[in-house]
Chain A
Amino acid sequence: MADLSINFAGIKAPNPFWLASAPPTNTGYQIMKAFDAGWGGAVWKTLGVPVVNVSSRYGSVNYRDSRMMGFNNIELISDRPLADNLREIEEVKKYFPDHAVIASLMVESRAEWIQIIKDCENAGADGLELNFGCPHGMCERGMGSAVGQEPEVLKTIVGWVMEAANIPVITKLSPNISHITDPGRAAVAGGTDAISLVNTFKSIVGINLDTYAPYPEVDGSGTNGGYCGPAVKPIALNMVKELAQDYITKNTPISGIGGIENWRDVVEYILLGCGSVQVCTAVMHYGFGIVRELESGVLQFMRDKGYNTIEDFRGKALPNVKEWKDLNLKHKVVADINVEKCIGCQLCYAACEDGAHQAIALSGDLNIRIPSIIEENCVGCNLCSLVCPVEECITMVKRDDGTESLTWAERTQRGDVPVTFNDPLAGGIGHHVPTPEDAIKTFKNRKI
């Protein structure tokens, strides 16, 4: 029987599905409801000196009919008195002693850090998460991402915390930085027990075309927010990988955050090395109930693959994430259109013709709308298969026999790579390019 329970840097939880520090973890009421629904842990809405919030706090990016593909907020940390939060932490732990309750913290002075850590430990928190991520509001006051973007400051504060804390400490990183390894290494140098990432990305989700104010609008103006939701997952996954592969940070447990909405997302984060995951936007969109889908999907995946614990497959994708120079240049795939399934939308034609390599041909007969692949021109880029609206209609088929492997690194070593502008070793040499006349059909009579 597959077992979902985890021990993340010393924090035990019945499963790796945690709520990220955000509006869904604003109160003990919500967290207990979430645990009741099946969540295994929760990072409390960040505690500190209570704030005052604005009204109108969220904005979103919709993609066609999909709502909240990207989501941003300008809400600050908890606006509730610390005492209320501490009392509720205690209450939650009474009802759910085996679930992970982690207190997210953001304060300024060393004295404040020491005080609040003691308070949270007394309330029964299982761990601490240091919020060095918020890219809006709090950073203007020298906290949040203002710390996350200064590795030296971050290291110092982590150091203070490690001295004071008796429970595991997770340092939450801001992605608003060129190299995530910089703050990651600083957190490790400061002695952190674990890292979580990503916090939100500095963002403007849109502008109101009548008032010219950014969303969310606050009385005719707005400010940059923090961006999250499904749209940020790919960027977050890459940052997770960076830390999971970095020789300094790779042994530090990672809690993955960013656009997680279904079981596939969870498995991907785990395959890249995460020991737990945190969810916010999906819960803000659909409520706590989505955990049913996460749990059922991950369990089924584990059964199908024969895994007993999360550790069994954690990090399994990492060896396959290489540098470009180590990819096999002899591997060759080409597109294949299943004529039985093709509906003749010709999106693949438009995409390849205008956006790629002119490797798809139309029949020339208006009544035959199924395009065909010009195999000699196909570079195997996948674009057509990505735009095709029909399931499994365009597939990429392997054309090499798998016996040969040659990488850029190996070719470089052999001196077998293009080095001059018109080098005969250029990869695209001899690639088919249609004539200028073919390009300017509408301006046929244009004289040159």
Chain B
Amino acid sequence: MAEYNRPQSSEEFHRNFEQKKPLMNDTEAYYESSRCLFCYDAPCVTACPTGIDIPLFIKQIQTGNLTGSARTIYDSNWFGNACGKVCPTKVLCEGACVYNHQDIKPIEIGRLQNFATIRVIESNKSLYSPGPNNGMKIAIIGAGPAGISCACELRTLGYQVDIFEAKDKPSGLTVHGTAPYKITNKEVLAEMDYLQGQLGFQVYYNTPVSNAEQLRDIEKEYDAIFLGVGLGPTADLGLPGDDKENVIGAVEFVEALRMKEHLVQVPDKVIVLGGGNTAMDAASESCRMGAQEVTLAYRRSKDEMGAYGFEYELAKNAGAKGLFNVQPLEILGNGSVSGVKFIKTQSVNGQLQVIEGSEFTMECDMVIKATGQAKMGNLFALIEGMDLDRSKRIVVNPVTFQSTNPKYFAGGDAVNGGAEVVNGAHDGKAAAKGIHQWINNL
């Protein structure tokens, strides 16, 4: 394997994490945009969670109205640039492109989107301004896609917006969680600066909201509150040996990579536990960090993985190997991890069963748990009358995103249990409209 050498510098890191959807040049955008058929009631629009008028923005690129194109995108989605790069477009807009039905390459919607938005960001061309101050104040907890989108939309409606963010950067998992070959930190943060520059919401960084007192203060001071807190850290597996050194959660692993780049040490042999997109990301990231042997270990069969097929392909192409129908029993090691003890499994009538006596051990120097993030249950419990569903997701009205405590609205991963940036962007924007409606009794 060893397709990738261990990156020794930031430059080498970025070479290993070369952008999967590089910026189009003018000529490519010109030809690609000319292929769009301008479908009636275009299926790509329906497939985009934020409902961007895709045929319109593509035609605007084709006719040299790049600023208008960016406006079309931002009118529907405040994370227009980030989404163009991190959206799983194969299963969203591009997956719905009618060209697929004649086995013709679908329009590269994500890259075209990025082509339009990057121009206005780089030239800092102002497209929006805050609405006239209406004297109302809204608090937002969490500066992720949902929170920032809600803030932008509220500012256009004239609300004063304060965001409380636990970390020191905006955009949530966009900058801390998405795979580095999808988008660079610089590009994510440039869009955040661009939005904040135009709309002027206030973000209080390094300010986690974690106790009842803080919440009561916020409730007193603000007219409504939006929760865009996402999900928590990687959930505990409850396995013996879970606490050994070099056993790390996938979300924490990616965050470290994105923040520290080549300074993160990834040893030779890595086992990634899980079968979702995060597991795929972690596996391919380990390969790109120079690990020699990366194994993706999943409890069920390959076909039952939650990950998109193309994400699995990407991990395989980076050098990861799949190991299916294995369940971890124990993480072995003396201080630091030295291996994982698995037992084989099989599906019997849809039920997963372990095969008695099939235990085996696989050596490794690092275990990445991509087995799901915890929910923010503790925080939610402090909010009176706010119902959660069985999976500890906040229950909201699907149109207004109002929770069962009318002062609280919520969206993004905290509501959907973990989806994409584009869903957070949609929810935040919709919730802002919901807040506006509720406050004005519309």
| Chain A residues at the B interface, C-beta cutoff of 8 Å | 64-65, 341-347, 349-350, 362, 366, 369, 389-390
Contact = CB atoms under 8 A, between A and B. Distances in A.
B213 interface: no
Nearest to A393: B102
Given A350-B40, A366-B46, A64 B98 contact: no
Contacts of B99: 343
9 contacts: A65-B34, A341-B102, A343-B98, A343-B101, A344-B101, A345-B39, A345-B98, A347-B37, A347-B40
A341 B100 CA distance: 12
Interface string B276-304: 00000000000000000000000000000
Contacts, number: 36
A343 B102 contact: yes
Contacts of A64: 34, 62
Contact of A346 (B34, B39, B102): B39
B418 interface: no
B141 to A, nearest CB: 36
B30 interface: yes
Nearest to B36: A64
A445 B38 CA distance: 29
Given A64-B34, A65-B34, A366-B46, A390 B39 contact: no
B41 interface: yes
Contact of A390 (B46, B62, B102): B102
A165 B407 CA distance: 97
B30 A346 contact: no
Given A65-B30, A344-B101, 20 more contacts: A64-B34, A64-B62, A65-B34, A341-B102, A342-B101, A343-B99, A343-B101, A343-B102, A344-B39, A345-B39, A345-B40, A346-B39, A346-B40, A346-B41, A347-B38, A347-B40, A350-B40, A362-B41, A369-B98, A390-B102
A300 to B, nearest CB: 28
Contacts of A390: 102
Contacts of B88: none
B43 interface: yes
Interface residues of B, number: 17
A366 B46 CA distance: 9
B43 A369 contact: yes
Nearest to B31: A65
A362 B38 CA distance: 17
A347 B43 CA distance: 12
Contacts of B46: 366
Nearest to B64: A209
A343 B98 CA distance: 5
Shortest beta-carbon contacts, A-B, top 3:
A346-B40, A65-B34, A343-B101
Chain A interface mostly: loop
Contacts of B37: 345, 347, 389
Interface in B25-56: 30-31, 34-35, 37-41, 43, 46
Given A64-B62, A390-B102, A344 B43 contact: yes
Nearest to B99: A343
A49 to B, nearest CB: 42
Contacts of B40: 345-347, 349-350
B400 to A, nearest CB: 22
A65 B98 CA distance: 20
Nearest to A348: B40
Contacts of A369: 43, 98
Nearest to B100: A343
Contacts of B31: 65
A389 B31 CA distance: 17
Contacts of B35: 65
A236 to B, nearest CB: 26
Contacts of A366: 46
Interface string B352-394: 0000000000000000000000000000000000000000000
Contacts of B98: 343-345, 369
A354 B31 CA distance: 28
A248 B203 CA distance: 85
Contacts of B39: 344-347
Nearest to A66: B34
Interface in B83-108: 98-102
B133 to A, nearest CB: 32
A442 B100 CA distance: 31
A391 to B, nearest CB: 9
B95 to A, nearest CB: 13
Contacts of A65: 30-31, 34-35
Nearest to A390: B102
| Most chain B CB neighbours (cut-off 10 Å) among A341, A343, A366 | A343
Contacts of B30: 65
Contacts of B101: 342-344
A341 B41 CA distance: 19
A205 to B, nearest CB: 16
| Most chain A CB neighbours (cut-off 10 Å) among B40, B46, B62, B100 | B40
A441 to B, nearest CB: 13
A345 B38 CA distance: 8
Contacts of A350: 40
B316 to A, nearest CB: 31
A342 B100 CA distance: 11
Interface in B247-284: none
A420 to B, nearest CB: 39
